[in-house]
Amino acid sequence: MANNPVKLPVAPMIIYSKNADINLGDIMFNKNQKTKQEKTNSNKEKNEKTSNEVLKKSLEYNINLFSEIFANDETLIIRRFQNKVLKSAKCCVLYFDGMVKTEIINENIIKPILSNDLSMNILEENLLEELQYKVIVSNDVKTEINISRMNDAAIYGDTIFLLEGYEKALIINTKGWQTRTITEPESEKIIRGPREGFTESIMMNISMVRRKIKSTDLKFKFKDIGVRTRTKTCICYIEGIVAPNILTELERRLDEINIDGILDSGYIQELIRDAPFSPFETVGYSEKPDVIASKILEGRIAIIVDGSPVALTVPFILAEASQSSEDYYNNYIFGSFNRLLRTISAYFAISIPAVYLSIVTYHQEMLPTPLLLSISASRQGVPLPTALSMFIMLLIFDALREAGTRMPTAIGQAVNIVGTLVLGQAAVEAKLVSAPVVIVTALTGILTLMNISLIGASILSRFFLLLAASVLGIYGFFLGSFLIILHVLSIRSFGVPYLLNISKVKNHNGQDTWIRAPWWSMTLRPKIIGAKNLVRQAAPKNRRR
Amino acid sequence: MKRVKIVLSALLIIFNSVFATGCWNYREVDQFTIVAGVAVDKGEHSKYRITVEVAQITGGREAKTNSKLISMEGDTIFDAVRNEISLAGKRLYWSHAKVLIISKEIASEGIANIIDWYNRDAETRGDVHILVSMEETARQIFEASSQIEDIKSFELDNIIKNQVSLSKTPIIEIWDFSNLLSRKNLGAITPTVSIYKKNIVDCPLVYGTAIFKNGKMIGTIDGEETKSLLFVLNQIKGGVLINDEKQDEMLVTLEIFKSKTKIVPVVNGDNVEINITIKTITGIDEFNGNGNCLDEELIRRLEQKLEIALKNRIIKLVKKIQSDYEVDIFGFGAKIHEDMPKEWSKLEDSWEEEFKDLKINVNTKFNIKNSATLSKTLNIGE
């Protein structure tokens, strides 16, 4: 993966300063100064190269200009051609190999100019415009005089059309590269509901959202982010529902991004988020257009990034982490049951190991006698302390999980077998860990995977609580829980409280948090997020038929 | 400033509560010996001999629990308990102990110090059942065989807990007992345990009640008398009553569903009298003889007979306690204290004497609610 350019100059600096025996303050100071300088330098360099140049009347000069700009880039194709009748129609197309649909260039640009008799019905004085209007067959042709914009277009798959005697060029849309087809996202499988997922192509993704919400209020705003990657990023929202201050705040944060490359929406997610040091995500994401559409309909703003099949939504509240799109498509009672299961399991996933550890090693008085006896029986002859074995087993589980995500499918089975045998059987039989620890680990693992979008936060808080419980028992567990709760309470996502709707059930606050209320009763959008236009639907009068 | 105050007070609470967590040592369950029950005897060399029944756990695939007895001597109870370390090495873990058995000898000499240690120590729990052994030593109870559980203490615990549907021994936990001991003018009771030798194997039998006066055991009453005692104490939750008058044509066994006792002290002239009203709801569960259980006449006759029988039993028991033991185990004194404090101030100092001559009036009311699933008697051969 690409390195962060800001960090690049840091490494040699530290080595240098170590030798020179400079104190830490100097290093920090120097580092900041150097990176700032570097940033301005690179910008200046880029500007010099493109903005000072202009097109001239000579075709050859212009072609040379582009050859110089793209020197050493051998994918640039330069094709000169001339109309057989009208000699003044000396043309040239420039494009990048692999980025274009060759048929469009051949059939719609070169062929009409080459084979037609251009002396007929064509005004020679204004040849470029005449060609644009009457000859070139394309749905998207623009006149352009800015060289840097021409470069951007060519890089993104358009074709630059140059004509002898003109200081401007035509930019013809010839984009055509291979994209992945629409498939069901692997990370968000469902049984009922739309199965299509986003792809890496931004326009395809936008079209999928557009198809869900056919409203003139649905707005798409583009931004190019990344100094070098110039990644196309689209902000998508519904005017009239979205909170304007959240929108301006989002645009401000996006404009502030100054990074060399955006390779996935994850970069943007991290660069615009609130609470940057927290393991709790404050920006939502999904691979499914129906999920993104539903969030947009509630007043959230979606950010679709070119090259990433994952779209982002802001603001994000904790309640969204346990919402699944299927909850809304199934019967609401079943949906609420699943939702409740997920929310409760999120709490258990972080607390079960800590509670087990503190009761078994600090507060044996709280165990029923038969349970104490059977736990004691399972601990006979086990050398590792419960706390240590709990840490080790949870780490092994996470290692297995990580290996499982990363490894090729072909060797998946081998890892599974080894994992189950090592974890479940051999460890207990060899008396390295006690059986209840294995059970607790397995249960914790399953519960953690139930809320896949909370996985990072829950693994970290689980270890934090386990550590607290191993030092202070059940008191440590409660102390740790309070600290986590206080931390979560302090988070805001774009000004919206992170725990919005979790503690209150009054009015419509809790309708979509612990349960999924029936659609006929969800007449309001979530507060604050959709505050500008709260009413989702007029309360139906005849719902009880 | 306000913020600083909030932070400081939060820190104060957090750090103070560290010291308020009680015992919180990190200890693994396999590092201590789980005490299931404890027996206190007179020692041969020292004052006390403590026998603990500990759970002996074998781990592995076929985990097994057995019991093992460890005896140690010491001049005080705690001395003896800690002397165990030089015998077995591991610390004893008391929180899951179920029974405390005290030998007859120790009980009649006084058990205040045992109760004091058990209540005072941080590891022992107040919900242990206290028993008096009717055998020579208390250790013998643990040496007998058990019927169902591997560990005798757990079996004794079950026996006592399930007395709610037998009512032949009182259910007394140690905090109950120490409450009773600490009250002036009040006798204390515990269940008694002996070894039942008429079975194929000798096993412990919990039956009857030991009566304590001023922390010393002064006598016992048997299981049927205990049932009458529990009626007075309003502690009947279940059990069996038999209409077993010899001249009667039918033998009926009833199950007690619910019973409520009200004790009301009344002033009659110069004397205070105690009115006991007992309302009992029962059902016929075994019927030997001829008759229809739906016959109201029969039911009423039966109810009357039972009322008289219970009344006589209670009067007999109270008389026995008054004349033989002279200790108020019924809590009449406490009731007078609650209801008529003025009268009590006159009686308080001479209550022991007054109790001996206290007049009681018993009023019983029986209600036979049903006859279980059969209405008629089973007529064989018809």
First to last CA, chain A: 58
Per-residue pLDDT of A34-73, as tens digits, reads: 444 444 444 444 544 555 778 888 899 999 999 999 988 8
Q: What residue of B is the nearest CA neighbor of A366? A: B95
pLDDT for position A540: 66
**Parallel, antiparallel, or unpaired for β B271-288 and B251-268?**
antiparallel
Coil/strand/helix, residue B261? strand
How far apart are alpha carbons A208 and A288 in whole angstroms? 9
Q: What residue of B is the nearest CA neighbor of A473? A: B24
**Parallel, antiparallel, or unpaired for β B359-370 and B271-288?**
parallel
pLDDT for position A49: 55
Chain Cα centroid distance, residue A495: 21
Cβ–Cβ below 8 Å for A362 and B25: yes
Residue A431 with chain B: CB contacts under 8 Å: 59
Cis peptide before A408 (omega within 30 of 0): no
For residue B239 the two structure tokens come to 């059990």
Q: Which residue has the tokens 């304007």?
A: A244
Overall size of chain B counted in residues:
382
Residue A381 with chain B: CB contacts under 8 Å: 30, 59-60
pLDDT for position B285: 86
pLDDT tens string for chain B (382 positions)? 788 998 888 888 877 766 665 556 788 888 888 999 999 999 888 889 999 999 888 866 677 788 889 999 999 888 888 888 888 778 888 889 999 999 999 999 988 889 999 988 888 888 999 999 999 999 999 998 888 888 899 999 999 999 888 889 999 999 989 988 888 888 899 999 999 888 788 888 999 999 999 889 999 999 989 999 999 999 998 888 887 666 666 778 889 999 999 999 998 888 889 999 999 999 888 887 777 777 888 888 888 888 998 999 999 999 999 999 889 999 898 899 999 998 888 888 888 888 988 999 999 999 988 888 877 776 666 5
List, as one string, the DSSP characters of A488-544.
HHH-EETTEETTTTTS--STTTTTTTTS---GGG--BPPTTTTGGG-BSSPPPS---
pLDDT-derived band at A23 (thresholds 50, 70, 90) equals: very low
How far apart are alpha carbons B302 and B367 in whole angstroms? 10
Enter the DSSP assignment of A425.
I
In this structure, the number of other CB atoms found within 10 A of the CB of residue A137 comes to 12
| φ, ψ dihedrals at A260, nearest 5° | -75, -35
DSSP E strand stretches across A260-412? 284-286, 301-305, 311-314
Cβ–Cβ below 8 Å for A380 and B125: no
How far apart are alpha carbons B178 and A139 in whole angstroms? 97
Residue B65 with chain A: CB contacts under 8 Å: 373, 377
pLDDT for position A130: 86
Residue A365 with chain B: CB contacts under 8 Å: 95-96, 125
ipTM over 0.95? The verdict is: no
- By Cβ distance, the residue of A372, A377, A473 closest to B21 is A473
- Residues A198, A311: contact at Cβ < 8 Å? yes
Residues A159-178: what's their mean pLDDT?
90
**Parallel, antiparallel, or unpaired for β B99-103 and B129-133?**
parallel
- By Cβ distance, the residue of B24, B63, B95 closest to A475 is B24
Q: Which of B29, B35, B148 to mutate to test the interface with A (most CBs of A within 10 A)?
A: B29
Q: Which residue has the tokens 């990344």?
A: A226
Of B174, B152, B205, B190, which Cα lies nearest the Cα of B36?
A: B152
Q: Which of A363, A366, A376 to mutate to test the interface with B (most CBs of B within 10 A)?
A: A376
For residue A515 the two structure tokens come to 């349960």
Residue A363 with chain B: CB contacts under 8 Å: 24
Predicted TM-score of the model (pTM): 0.81
B148 at A interface, C-beta within 8 A = no
Residue B25 with chain A: CB contacts under 8 Å: 362
Q: What residue of B is the nearest CA neighbor of A377? A: B59
pLDDT for position A25: 43
Cβ–Cβ below 8 Å for A375 and B27: no
Fold of B233-377: GMP Synthetase; Chain A, domain 3 (3.30.300)
- Residues B276, B259: contact at Cβ < 8 Å? no
Helical H runs in A320-368? 325-329, 332-361
How far apart are alpha carbons A447 and A226 in whole angstroms? 38
pLDDT-derived band at A28 (thresholds 50, 70, 90) equals: very low
Cβ–Cβ below 8 Å for A473 and B63: no
B16 at A interface, C-beta within 8 A = no
DSSP E strand stretches across B8-113? 33-42, 48-58, 64-74, 92-93, 99-103
pLDDT for position A222: 94
**Of the segments A195-209, A401-415, B174-188, which one has the largest average pLDDT value?**
A195-209
HSE of B152, CA atoms in CB hemisphere, 13 A: 28
In this structure, the number of other CB atoms found within 10 A of the CB of residue A127 comes to 21
How far apart are alpha carbons A522 and B238 in whole angstroms? 53
Q: List Cβ neighbours of A73 (8 Å cut-off, separation of 6 or more).
A: A96
| φ, ψ dihedrals at B69, nearest 5° | -105, 135
Residues A388-414: what's their mean pLDDT?
86
B350 at A interface, C-beta within 8 A = no
Per-residue pLDDT of A64-98, as tens digits, reads: 999 999 988 889 999 999 888 888 888 999 999 98
How far apart are alpha carbons A98 and A386 in whole angstroms? 60
Residues A333-354: what's their mean pLDDT?
94
List, as one string, the DSSP characters of A25-66.
HHHHHHHHHHHHHHHHHHHHHHHHHHHT----S-HHHHHHHH
How far apart are alpha carbons A225 and B223 in whole angstroms? 90
Q: What residue of A is the nearest CA neighbor of B27? A: A361
- By Cβ distance, the residue of A364, A376, A479 closest to B95 is A364
- By Cβ distance, the residue of A369, A372, A429 closest to B29 is A372
How far apart are alpha carbons A272 and A263 in whole angstroms? 15
What ranges do the domains of chain B cover?
30-221, 233-377
Residues A284-307: what's their mean pLDDT?
94
- By Cβ distance, the residue of A364, A386, A475 closest to B17 is A475
Per-residue pLDDT of A485-496, as tens digits, reads: 999 999 999 999
Per-residue pLDDT of A99-149, as tens digits, reads: 899 888 999 999 988 888 777 777 778 888 888 888 888 888 999 888 888
Cβ–Cβ below 8 Å for A380 and B59: yes
Work out how many CB contacts closer than 8 A connect A with B.
Answer: 75
Coil/strand/helix, residue B213? strand
Residue B96 with chain A: CB contacts under 8 Å: 364-365, 369, 372
For residue A158 the two structure tokens come to 């358009």
**Of the segments A312-326, A396-410, B16-30, which one has the largest average pLDDT value?**
A312-326
- Burial class from Cβ neighbours inside 10 Å (0-12, 13-18, 19+) for residue A203 reads middle
Closest Cα in chain B, distance from residue A478 (Å): 11
A23: left (phi over 0), alpha (psi -120 to 50) or beta: beta
Angle at B209 between CA B207 and CA B215, to 5 degrees: 145
Of A86, A88, A80, A83, which Cα lies nearest the Cα of A63?
A: A80
Cβ–Cβ below 8 Å for B28 and A369: no
Q: Which residue has the tokens 């005849």?
A: A542
pLDDT for position A412: 77
pLDDT for position A333: 94
Cβ–Cβ below 8 Å for A378 and B18: no
For residue A221 the two structure tokens come to 């705003």
For residue A143 the two structure tokens come to 């006149």
Q: What residue of A is the nearest CA neighbor of B149? A: A370
Per-residue b/e over A451-472, b at no fewer than 16 CB within 10 Å? bebbbebbbebbbbbbbbbbbb
How far apart are alpha carbons A179 and A195 in whole angstroms? 18
Enter the DSSP assignment of A182.
P
B91 at A interface, C-beta within 8 A = no
- Partners of A163 in beta bridges: A91
- By Cβ distance, the residue of B14, B57, B154 closest to A377 is B57
- By Cβ distance, the residue of A365, A369, A479 closest to B14 is A479
- By Cβ distance, the residue of A361, A372, A373 closest to B26 is A361
Residue B24 with chain A: CB contacts under 8 Å: 362-363, 472-473, 475
- Burial class from Cβ neighbours inside 10 Å (0-12, 13-18, 19+) for residue B342 reads exposed
How far apart are alpha carbons A497 and B92 in whole angstroms? 52
Per-residue pLDDT of A496-545, as tens digits, reads: 999 988 877 777 778 888 889 898 888 888 887 877 788 887 766 665 55
- Residues B347, B337: contact at Cβ < 8 Å? no
pLDDT for position B350: 87
How far apart are alpha carbons A231 and A2 in whole angstroms? 14
